[in-house]
């Protein structure tokens, strides 16, 4: 059972806008910034969003992040087949004194 809660799967048709939610508590998302990682099968995770809504250099602006209270969201606009991957949210938990991750969301382009 992950500390941060994500839906196990999400899907959309090419070109569509898809959102992935991440729910936490006052000790993690409510207190600290959220990061998002993208992981393709058999490869290492890649930083997608940091500080709630910042994109590292090289990440397309089709990817955006937001946070409100104890929840966060990752939005992918103009969905492409190449976006099919697992997506993880993460935040520092002040009660556990540790980084915590969501269980991951498998994104499928229909």
Partner 1 sequence: EVQLIQSGAEVKKPGESLRISCQASGYTFTNYWIAWVRQMPGKGLEWMGIIFPGDSKTKYSPSFQGQVTISADTSLTTAYLQWSSVKASDTAIYYCARHPGNYKLWSGFFDFWGQGTLVAVSS
Phi/psi-derived region of residue 70, left when phi > 0, alpha when psi is between -120 and 50, beta in every other case? alpha
For partner 1, which is the closer residue by CB, 13 or 44?
44
Residue 83's Cβ-count burial label (10 Å; 0-12, 13-18, 19+) is: buried
Site string for partner 1, 55-74 (x = CB under 8 A): -x------------------
Distance CA 29, CA 25 (A): 6
Residue 106's Cβ-count burial label (10 Å; 0-12, 13-18, 19+) is: middle
Figure out which of the listed residues 5, 101, 108, 109 binds partner 1, where binding follows CB under 8 A. 101
Site string for partner 1, 19-58 (x = CB under 8 A): ------------xxx-x-x-x---xxxxx--xx----x--
Q: Does 110 bind partner 1 (CB under 8 A)?
A: no
Question: Residue 81 is encoded by which pair of tokens?
Answer: 């087949």
Figure out which of the listed residues 25, 83, 102, 107 binds partner 1, where binding follows CB under 8 A. 102
Could you list the residues that contact partner 1 (CB under 8 A)? 2, 31-33, 35, 37, 39, 43-47, 50-51, 56, 88, 90, 92, 94, 96-104
């Amino acid at each position: 059972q992950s500390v941060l809660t994500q839906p196990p799967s999400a899907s959309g048709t090419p070109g569509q806008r898809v959102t992935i939610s991440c729910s936490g508590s006052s000790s993690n998302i409510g207190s600290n910034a959220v990061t998002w990682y993208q992981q393709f099968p058999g490869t290492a995770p890649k930083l997608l969003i940091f500080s709630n809504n910042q994109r590292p250099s090289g990440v397309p602006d089709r990817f955006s992040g937001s946070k409100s209270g104890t929840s966060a969201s990752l939005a992918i606009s103009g969905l492409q087949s190449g976006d099919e991957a697992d997506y993880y949210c993460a935040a520092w938990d002040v009660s556990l004194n540790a980084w915590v991750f969501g269980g991951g969301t498998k994104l499928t382009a229909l």
